[in-house]
Amino acid sequence: MNPQSTLPPTPAALPPKTGDPSAAGGRRDKDPRSEVRLFAGLGHVALAVWAVIVIVPILWTFLAAFKNTSEIFSSPWTLPAELRWENFGRAWTKAHVGRYFLNSVLVVGCSTFGTMLLGSMAAYVLARYRFWGNRAIYYLFVSGLAFPVFLALVPLFFVVKQLGMLDTYQGVILVYIAYSLPFTIFFLAAFFKTLPTSVAEAGMIDGCGHSRLFFQVMMPMAKPGLISVAIFNIIGQWAQYQLPLVLLSNAKDKWVLTQGIADISVNAGYEADWSGLFAALTIAILPMIIVYAVFQRQIQAGLTSGAVK
């Protein structure tokens, strides 16, 4: 027996330990936490830049609403010398912003109610019931998200005209509902799938019909999702310009706020009432900021509850 065979292996013969700095040619493994911190820092920088891009024009609009025309052009980034509330009164009465504002409230309120009612019912059926053509109907609705609205303006104009609803509130409301249904069904169908089946089964055992089960059991459980998608629909319909421009072109007394502000901006170049224009813009922007600020928690709860359940 060779005495050298019992000797322990030399250090050079030992395999390198995992995590040893000398392993793999002396290179250290990258710390994943450093990469996370790097991407988080880049994300914060991007969010800060985006916030500046969005907030600065809004603040400038609010400041210009309290200035006169000379101050707007001579010192656009300074505070107004005084708060000229008459700019808002002139925009509300002389520029008819008050009437346009009420028209927008009427149209958006009715269309949001119709969208949420029809969209929630369709999403619930598509999410909770299995029948032939279920997926085909769902994908048909969702495909509306990929269809640009401006491509359908001409045929939409003739369809609404043939129905006798051109230059009417009813025509705009129906088109708004059809325009908002794809996103509503896409959002709520995924939300209804997260609701527990045991609760629906218990309701059916207690004698609930399909309608009662939906309105009294499932809809209250889906309240966070309903609030979230309703806020998104309100904001989207409030800022809509193309559809009312085509469907209400000859009914100035029924114009919505976006049409009225566009008309004010055209006339401002001739009448030099830029302060009234910015006051009208402020009147249009503030309600949506208030709505989002009030329902911010509900929106976040609706967006995250589906992932938590």
Q: Give the residue extent of every domain in the chain.
A: 91-308
**Which secondary-structure segment (H or E) carries 295?**
none
Cβ atoms of 167 and 249 within 8 Å: the answer is yes
The residue type of 3 is P
Q: What percent of the chain has pLDDT over 90?
A: 35
Residue 7 has phi, psi (to 5 degrees) of: -70, 145
Distance CA 213, CA 226 (A): 16
Q: What is the mean pLDDT of residues 167-196?
A: 92
Q: Which residue has the higher pLDDT, 51 or 18?
A: 51
Q: How many CA atoms lie within 13 A of 308 on its CB side?
A: 8
Cβ atoms of 243 and 104 within 8 Å: the answer is no
Q: What is the mean pLDDT of residues 260-264?
A: 85
**Tokens encoding 127:** 């999410």
Is the pLDDT assigned to residue 1 strictly greater than 50? no
Tell me which range, 154-163, 259-268, 288-297, is most confidently predicted by mean pLDDT: 154-163
Give the C-alpha distances (Å, rounded to integers) separating 228 from 244, 272, 292, 294, 298: 24, 40, 10, 12, 7
What pLDDT does residue 30 have? 60
Of 33-37, 204-208, 304-308, the range with the lowest mean pLDDT is: 304-308
Is the pLDDT assigned to residue 309 strictly greater than 50? no
Architecture, CATH, for domain 91-308: Orthogonal Bundle (1.10)
The residue type of 109 is G
Is the pLDDT assigned to residue 19 strictly greater than 70? no
Is the pLDDT assigned to residue 159 strictly greater than 80? yes
Distance CA 176, CA 193 (A): 26
Give the C-alpha distances (Å, rounded to integers) separating 151 from 69, 145, 176, 236, 242: 39, 13, 16, 18, 11
